[in-house]
Amino acid sequence: MDSSLEGLLRINSFSSRDTFTWRQGGDVFSRSLREAEDDEEALRWAVLEKLPTYNRVRRAMLASPSGGLKEVDVESLGMHEKKALLERLIGVAEEDNERFLFKLKDRIDRVGIRLPTIEVRYENLSIDAETHVGNRGLPTVLNSTMNTLESIANSLYILPSRKTKMSILHGVSGIIKPCRMTLLLGPPGSGKTTLLLALAGKLDSDLKVSGRVTYNGHEMNEFVPERTAAYISQYDLHIGEMTVRETLAFSARCQGVGTRYDMLTELARREKALNIKPDPDVDVYMKASAIRGQEANVVTDYIIKILGLDICADTMVGNDMIRGISGGQRKRVTTGEMLVGPAKALFMDEISTGLDSSTTFQIVNSIRQSIHILQGTAVISLLQPAPETYDLFDDIILISDGQIVYHGPRHDVLEFFESMGFKCPERKGVADFLQEVTSWKDQQQYWFKIEPYQYVPVKKFAKAFKSFHVGRAMAKELEVPFDKHNSHRAALTTSKYGASKMKLLKAQIDREILLMKRNSFVYIFKAVQLTLVAIITMTLFMRTRMHHNEADGNKFLGALFFAIMMIMFNTYAELAMTIAKLPVFFKQRDLLFFPAWTYTLPGWILKIPIILVEVAIWVFTTYYVIGFDPNAGRLFKQYLLLIMTSQMASALFRMIAGLARDMVISNTFGSASILVLIVLSGFVISRENIKSWWIWGYWISPLMYAQNAVSVNEFLGHQWNKNVNGERLGIKILHNRGIFVEAKWYWIGFGALIGFTLLFNFLYTVALTFLKPFGKDHPIVSEEALREKHANLTGEIIEESSKGKKSSPIHNSQKNSSIETNRGSLKSVDKIIGSDKKGMILPFMPLSLTFDDIKYSVDMPQEMKVQGMSEDRLVLLKSLLLLKRGGEEIYVGPLGRHSSELIKYFEQIPVWWIWYYWISPVAWTLYGLLVSQYGDIDDLLEDGVTVKEFVQEYFGFKHDFLPVVAVVILAFTLLFAFCFGFSIQRFNFQKR
């Protein structure tokens, strides 16, 4: 097809040159150069129209810099070509966006295609939550424990729930019309977010919902509301290492193009039948925005432009450690993340937070143009919109205390409140007036009737609206069900995801590679750290000081165990890195961007090369220096085993992060899991010494299989093949430590590590698939707050007394009786809230923090008092844990007949590392613990030496040196505190 096009162009160019030659010969042969160019373009369009539909929607005529048109593949448009295209279509977003949208609409209307529209109805919608009231809701340890146990008992139907029911929405009804902008107003805590979540189909399963929400007459279970509608949260959750453009491009890849491709093919078919030639720039834009699976969609650049993000498009979003875009720009990224998708219904929750009034106006105006021209549906919640922004909306929903006070056209809202006796002052913004007029704290200032003022509760407003002409018209319309036959087939989405799972996996792989590049410093640091520790290990376990005999066999076991520990600890960073990305993952998972497995699989597979490098650094630098068996096969077998150990540890920490979903909880359980694995590994306590009731823990410990496999691989080698008392030296050492001696245990351990890796990754995927994030708990509600909420609904006035608060009802049927004339029985509103307090009173969440005489001490021993200690109490550790060299034995508790076995295996530190011993806080702490517990005990050991003498002779620890040790430990504490204070004062990691 390209050759035919070139042939036609060649013929046309020949005829153009001939015509130009004979131009002076007369009018019959003269044709202008412009006419020749038009003919050339016509030939290009003709060839393009002859292509099959599949090819025709992927090729278009793009204006070249020289001024002519060239045929291009829309899937391979470069960044500069997209930028030039958008500059021609939308030079200035505020001025040209509406004209561009009309061009799109005109092209669609010319061929008679009807755009899909969505009408959202909510009828008798009531939503209730359960929460603890008063002191029971305070976040104390006791309350948290009680709440957890009670929730378990409730789920098992053992105990009834003791939570208090709190109503959020009370039987609200209304219709959200397409092609109209709806503004949702209401004071904080009125139920705006809950209403938006209900309309978008994203309510929490813990809430009790009655009533129904329908889209074009279809129930929520008949389609996928998360993809049909886009809910834009008020919380800005983004990956800080990605730029604005990358964030929006990833969102566009996950959400797909919806029905744009199907509409484009139908549009191209009808235009070909009607012989209609579209505008070239509009044709390129529509084709580029409709092709599935593109890494960079032109829609992304369009949304960046209309949101005013083009100045920071290639700037990282930023986080606590990376300085990025501003808070207002971050809010616009949150909005743009959903606008790049194909959703036709938008539910936007307080998108103006952090934005100035001018930017808010520009964004809302762009959305208004799209909704009006392309026939979308939008409900936008704004807290305090400026008057010019307020005027952009067609309809108003005013909600207060969970009831709809008004839902109808914007131009009728003031008429409704004037009928109720309240008038908006001339210099007062209508939006501010609407949010204050229902509050019993602010309502009186807007009363304008001659009759004495009496508080009008929210319930009376809601009832009056139903009799208002707008409310009657809406109720009448709700009585007639929506005709499902009028619903466009493309209006509601029935597929769960916006692209195929393989394309979603490809998008996740690309993002993970990008994040690994951006976090390369972390991996480089880990490699350097591992290298330094490897050097230290080589000098600590020097082969010249370690001989292949029974005495030094435990040293080699210790070196192997230390290698496993280092490889395992080197992957601990996975826990924090996983937790940091989970909030963004949960947001995108709940928006049905992708299934969980497409997220977890790249995070595991793509980091295998890094693990190969890290383990290679350790093994190939330490193996021969320490003096392990020189056989190359055993070298590579140790390398493979440590690779699987690293894989297992990474999967374990990812699983803990996925289950915990919180940094504090995951660090707690991560550290605890390491300790449990170490204790049950068979090295700290040998298999024979583990009690029968804990032996199951030995068999399910991954480190047991790693330790057995790496030990068998080493001690069955040639260097350990010596005979000692008729038994091979290597086998004897393994027997002494309770390690299996068969060669097959290497492959058993290797296979077990593979199984644990698969198991932990599977559990990590399951956790991310089904668990919910730790969201914000329901706010602590006091009894007074519940009474106030009840008073706002029913008209009761809260009366204060010295003993507490009680309520006295004001009946709506009282005739012309005002609060001022009933001072004997009721306090006036002015007296309750203060006559000088005007404006809106925002609610706040009260929190309590309690400290109560925290101590951990014991009575001062009489012996220490004799030595001059004057204090009555002593902070004391209850037990002492000592490990022999290589971790062969463990002892916890008081002295006994086996006490002498505790210390006989401790070896001296190499002389070139003794300096590190004296600057180690752990060494000084161990000195103090050992001397304070055993340094003054005169009990005899089995060899007739007292404990005091043994500690002094063997370790060099003297009891008289204890005050110096205490001073040194205190000095370490002060030094670390100083370093911390100096660091937070001097260092700033957010510099660009």
Digit-coded pLDDT (tens) for 591-612: 999 999 999 999 999 999 999 9
- Write down which residue in 456, 486, 516 finishes a domain: 486
Name which of 183, 171, 200 is nearest 402 in CA terms. Answer: 171
Tens of pLDDT, residue by residue over 725-764, are 778 888 988 888 889 989 999 999 999 999 999 999 999 9
The distance of Cα 834 from the centroid of its chain, to the nearest Å, equals 44
Q: Is residue 137 part of a domain?
A: no
Number of domains in the chain: 4
Asked whether residue 510 falls in the same domain as residue 382, the answer is: no
Co-location of 510 and 479 in the same domain: no
Q: Could you tell me which residue, 790 or 470, shows the higher pLDDT?
A: 470
Q: What is the pLDDT of residues 801-821, one digit of tens each?
A: 333 344 433 334 333 333 333
Q: Over pLDDT 90: what percentage of the chain? A: 39
pLDDT tens digits, 275-306: 888 888 888 898 888 887 776 788 999 999 99
The answer on pLDDT for 629 being more than 50 is yes
**What confidence category does residue 14 fall into, taking pLDDT thresholds of 50, 70 and 90?**
very low
Q: Give, to the nearest 10 degrees, the angle between helix 244-255 and helix 327-339.
A: 20
Whether 967 is covered by a domain: the verdict is: yes
Task: Write out the two tokens for 302.
Answer: 């369009």
Report the DSSP beta bridge partners of residue 859.
873
Token readout for 52 is 């099959």
Bridge partners (DSSP) of residue 121 are: 175, 214
Same domain, 607 and 641: yes
Query: Would you say 873 and 859 are in contact if contact means Cβ atoms under 8 Å apart?
Result: yes
Q: Are residues 669 and 613 in the same domain?
A: yes
CA 638 – CA 713 distance, rounded (Å): 7
Q: Is residue 629 part of a domain?
A: yes
Q: In whole numbers, what is the pLDDT of the chain averaged over residues?
A: 81
Q: What is the mean pLDDT of residues 507-536?
A: 93
Question: Do residues 581 and 637 both lie within one domain?
Answer: yes
Identify the CA nearest to 661 among candidates 516, 770, 756, 761.
770
850 part of a folded domain: no
Tokens representing residue 32 in the block: 């202008």
* Spatial distance between the Cα atoms of 127 and 124, rounded to a whole number of angstroms: 10
Q: Name the residue among 470, 350, 452, 366 with its Cα closest to residue 413.
A: 470
Q: What is the pLDDT of residue 864?
A: 62
Q: How far apart are CA 892 and CA 884, in angstroms?
A: 12
Average confidence (pLDDT) over 410-430:
91
pLDDT number for residue 22: 35
Instruction: Give the ranges where 774-900 is alpha helix by DSSP (H).
Output: 783-794, 829-833, 862-866
pLDDT by residue (tens digit) across 894-940?
A: 434 343 443 443 445 666 677 777 788 888 888 888 888 888 888 88
Above 90 in pLDDT, residue 218?
Answer: yes
Domain that holds residue 399: 120-132+169-234+350-486
**Rounded to an integer, what distance in angstroms lies between the CA atom of residue 396 and that of residue 431?**
10
Helix (H) or strand (E) holding 165: strand 164-176
Q: What is the pLDDT of residue 154?
A: 78
Instruction: Answer whether 369's CB lies under 8 Å from 97's CB.
Output: yes
Per residue in 570-598, pLDDT (tens digit) is 999 999 999 999 999 999 999 999 999 99
* pLDDT reading at 274 higher than 90: no
Q: Residues of the chain with pLDDT > 70: what percent?
A: 80
- Structure confidence by residue, pLDDT tens digits, 190-202: 889 999 999 999 9
**949 domain-assigned:** yes
Average pLDDT over residues 70-89: 85
pLDDT of the residue at 791 = 64
Residue 916: phi, psi to the nearest 5? -70, -30
Confidence of residue 442 (pLDDT cuts 50, 70, 90): confident
Whose tokens are 């029935």? That residue is 494
Contact 82, 291 (CB under 8 A): no
Tell me the per-residue pLDDT of 107-129, one tens digit each, with 9 for 90 and over. Answer: 999 999 999 999 999 999 999 88
pLDDT of 862 higher than 80: no
Quick: pLDDT tens for 875-893.
543 433 343 333 333 333 4
pLDDT on residue 899: 39
pLDDT at 794 (0 to 100): 58
In a domain, 895, yes or no: no
Residues 953-963 have pLDDT tens digits of 777 788 888 88
- With a cut of 70, say whether residue 34 has pLDDT above it: no
Whether 561 and 650 map to the same domain: the answer is yes
Q: Within this chain, do residues 608 and 545 fall inside the same structural domain, yes or no?
A: yes
Q: For 644-687, how does the pLDDT look when each residue is reduced to its tens digit (9 = 90+)? A: 999 999 999 999 999 998 888 888 888 888 888 888 888 888 88
User: Of 714, 748, 770, which residue constitutes the final position of a domain?
Assistant: 770
The band of 100, judged by pLDDT with boundaries at 50, 70 and 90, is very high
Same domain, 284 and 415: no
Digit-coded pLDDT (tens) for 296-352: 788 999 999 999 898 999 999 998 888 888 888 999 999 999 999 999 999 999 888
Residue 281 within a domain: yes
Looking at the fold, whether 638 and 697 belong to one and the same domain comes out as yes
In contact, 774 and 661? CB cutoff 8 Å: yes
Provide the terminal-to-terminal Cα distance of the chain, rounded to the nearest Å: 52
Among 460, 486, 512, the domain-final residue is 486
Give a yes or no: residue 927 inside a domain.
yes
Angle in degrees, 0-180, between the axes of helices 632-660 and 702-715, rounded to the nearest 10: 170
Q: Based on the domain organization, do 96 and 229 belong to the same domain?
A: no
Which tens digits make up the pLDDT trace of 791-803? 665 555 544 433 3
Considering the domain architecture, whether residues 466 and 426 belong to the same structural domain is answered as yes
Answer whether 422's CB lies under 8 Å from 432's CB.
Answer: no
Q: Are strands 858-859 and 797-800 parallel, antiparallel or unpaired?
A: unpaired
- How far is residue 735 from each of residues 423, 712, 729, measured CA to CA in Å? 93, 11, 10
* Cβ atoms < 10 Å from Cβ of 382: 22
Which structure tokens are listed for 963? Answer: 């005050």
Q: Are residues 672 and 725 in the same domain?
A: yes
What is the structure's pLDDT at 126? 92
Q: Strand pairing of 403-409 and 164-176?
A: unpaired
